[in-house]
Amino acid sequence: MAQKQPQKAVPKGAEVVAAYLPGLPGSPGVYRMINGDGDVLYVGKAKSLKKRVASYTNLKRQSTRLRRMIGETVTMEFVTTHTEAEALLLEANLIKRYRPRYNILLRDDKSFPKIRLTGGHEFPQVLKHRGADTAKGEYFGPFASAWAVNETLTILQRAFFLRTCSDSVFSSRTRPCLLFQIKRCSGPCVGRINEADYGRLVAEARAFLRGDSRKIQTGLARRMQQASDGLDYEAAALYRDRISALTQIQSRQEINLAGLGEADVMAAHQAGGHTCVEVFFFRGGRNFGNRAYFPIHAKDQDEAQVLEAFIGQFYDNKVAPKTVLLSHRLENQSLLAAALAVTAGRKVAVTCPTRGDKRKLVEHALTNAREALGRRLSESASQRRLLEGVAETLGLDGPPERIEVYDNSHVSGTNAIGAMIVAGPEGLVKNAYRKFNIKGKDITPGDDYAMMHQVLTRRFARALKEDPERKSGQWPDLVLIDGGPGQLGVGLKVLEELGIEDMTMAGIAKGPDRNAGRERIHMAGREPFTLKPRDPVLYFLQRLRDEAHRFAIGFHRAKRGKAISKSALDGVPGIGPGRKKALLHHFGSAASVKSAGLADLQSVDGISHATAKKIYDWFNG
């Protein structure tokens, strides 16, 4: 009997890296180190691919973390670029795509809101915008938050009376809206201002958004005085109110640096193995707000290394301003400036000021970074203690890294939805929240058990399909269900049907008379139990349940509101917005249209005999 030959071990580590060296060029490029499962471990850039990759073959000169990474590598992939700046841009893009374990990672990279002044209309609209700048018009920003945008939009309304309504609403108005009545709009929709005068307001608003608010304010003050001298006190009062609106936003600028123009200020502070990068946005010499980021990185990487990696990923999907001020000098600072200039199509100055007003801005950002990191570490420590308490209370092997909480919402069975929220060591993970529209006609309206069964089945069947090995971190350590033994039984049945055996599930039922603080916790194989009224773990579980309920109710109300806003005319073939509007104006309501006779329908402007017959047959066929 022939002996079975032992399988040849797959080469790993420095041996793999060395095998690639003969074929590598000495030109710029990007390399990827990949493990046996096909996961990208690390993405790096190089001025010379050959020299950079060769450095990995000398393990004695590598840190413990990098030796571990090299040891897991079974294959590598390479992309050559024309310049080192192009390599840096590609590196940032690939890091965001693959999220390698050994790279510094920017976790929160949502797009920033902007203000858009629409184009292609004689009376431009001003509105909040998020996403790509593809629509016609001018864009101003970015702003650090939606709150900052909304505040500026309010100022624009009060100071320049620009319309915020959509083009469809604008074209259908027959009388001024409430905003005109409270002096927040100039009423172009009903001819209360001509195109030339509105154009002057648009030009002033544009100048304001570009930082010329004081010049505008001076002009308004002059016109107010002229109106007052001419005894036109109503016009003078209007100019006074506009000046007041501009003064209000100027007085709220904590930092204002004349001549700064477009600039982002980035400061990094490190403590306890974590780093906070605080970003301030200045446009037109005004502070457009700030935001704190907490990149994932190894403990041996310093502020400058984290900041450099952060900047590349931060500007991967956005254009850098003319100036970027930093708290730390970077090793590849000039290269970074060249890369940002490529995407911006103009020069970008990346500097680390050491004195003067610009340094004061950086110091202010550093103070905010220090305070934000302090709050983050304090919250993380408290959260960890709570998770340890949850583990002890529910008998888990260790503090849960991911908790999922489920709830349903409906009104008498209508607009039924399910909702899932997620929490972990750093609090609520809102980008992991999920909504479920309850599908299928086989579910009896109001059947909470059937709804929960569908939601959990869809969630975990998809998890089994997409990540059966549970390597992506998307599987929960604990599932909480808002409900008692019935809901828990449904959840356990779903796990049994899907063959999932090693997952802890608990139901949180409200106490007698639905009193908060007297909740009963139900788990498989245990008698229902309660926690002491002042137990921090009880408060924590209550907050999670209430957050799930809040999220579910919000989604349900949005869905119900959308359903209510639909008209019975929406489904009639051949009835577009114009005919729908004509019918509603003639009959007053969709219900009256439904009960109208054929002759009545035919008498409506724009409704032919054939169209009237379609409408009549639709409702009476």
Task: Assign 339 a pLDDT band (cuts: 50, 70, 90).
Answer: very high
Mean pLDDT of 327-349: 92
pLDDT, tens digit (0-9, with 9 covering 90-100), for 500-524: 888 899 999 886 655 555 788 999 9
Domain made up of 263-375: CATH architecture: 2-Layer Sandwich (3.30)
What DSSP string runs through 496-549?
A: HHHT--S-EEEEEE--GGG-TT--EEEETTS--B---TT-HHHHHHHHHHHHHH
Position with higher pLDDT, 107 vs 526:
526
Instruction: Provide the 3-class DSSP secondary structure of residue 26.
Output: coil
Task: Assign 251 a pLDDT band (cuts: 50, 70, 90).
Answer: very low
Please say whether the beta carbons of 417 and 435 come within 8 A.
yes
Mean pLDDT of 12-23: 88
The most confident of the ranges 149-153, 187-191, 373-377 is 187-191
Q: How far apart are the first and last CA of the chain?
A: 82
Do the first three CATH levels of 263-375 and 403-465+473-556 match, i.e. the same topology? yes
How far apart are alpha carbons 557 and 79 in whole angstroms?
A: 49
Percent of the chain with pLDDT over 70: 89
Q: How many residues does the chain have?
A: 621
Mean pLDDT of 548-567: 69
Q: Looking at residue 493, what is its pLDDT?
A: 94
Residue the block writes with tokens 């972990």: 424
Q: Looking at residue 415, what is its pLDDT?
A: 64
Instruction: Provide the 3-class DSSP secondary structure of residue 482.
Output: strand
Position with higher pLDDT, 265 vs 240:
265
What DSSP string runs through 342-386?
A: HHHTS--EEE---SHHHHHHHHHHHHHHHHHHHHHHHHHHHHHHH
Q: Looking at residue 411, what is its pLDDT?
A: 58
Q: Looking at residue 10, what is its pLDDT?
A: 47
Q: Which uninterrupted H or E stretch holds 306?
A: helix 303-314
* Statement: residue 578 has pLDDT above 80: no
Q: Looking at residue 110, what is its pLDDT?
A: 67
Closest CA to 157 of 241, 86, 94, 70: 241
Mean pLDDT of 550-555: 83
How far apart are alpha carbons 119 and 228 in whole angstroms?
A: 35
Class of domain 14-98: alpha beta
Instruction: Provide the 3-class DSSP secondary structure of residue 429.
Output: coil
Query: For the chain, what is the mean pLDDT?
Result: 84
Whole-number Cα distances in Å, 582 to 174, 442, 603: 14, 39, 11
* Statement: residue 252 has pLDDT above 50: no
* Statement: residue 198 has pLDDT above 80: yes
Instruction: Quote the DSSP letter at residue 284.
Output: T
Mean pLDDT of 245-258: 56
Position with higher pLDDT, 13 vs 88:
88
Fill in the amino acid letter for 449.
Y
Instruction: Quote the DSSP letter at residue 117.
Output: E
* Statement: residue 247 has pLDDT above 90: no
Please say whether the beta carbons of 475 and 469 come within 8 A.
no
Copy the structure tokens of residue 188: 């172009």
Going by CATH, does the domain composed of 403-465+473-556 fall within 3.30.420.340?
yes
pLDDT, tens digit (0-9, with 9 covering 90-100), for 208-238: 887 766 677 777 788 888 888 888 787 788 8
pLDDT, tens digit (0-9, with 9 covering 90-100), for 411-431: 555 667 788 999 988 888 888
Rg for the chain, CA atoms, rounded: 31
pLDDT, tens digit (0-9, with 9 covering 90-100), for 59-99: 888 888 899 999 999 999 999 999 999 999 999 999 988 99
Q: Looking at residue 612, what is its pLDDT?
A: 83
* Statement: residue 564 has pLDDT above 50: no
Lowest mean pLDDT among 390-394, 444-448, 508-512: 444-448
* Statement: residue 142 has pLDDT above 90: no
Whole-number Cα distances in Å, 434 to 86, 505, 514: 37, 18, 26
Domain ranges of the chain: 14-98, 114-251, 263-375, 403-465+473-556, 577-620
Instruction: Quote the DSSP letter at residue 529.
Output: B
Residue the block writes with tokens 């690939």: 94
Q: What are phi and psi of 603, to 5 degrees?
A: -80, -5
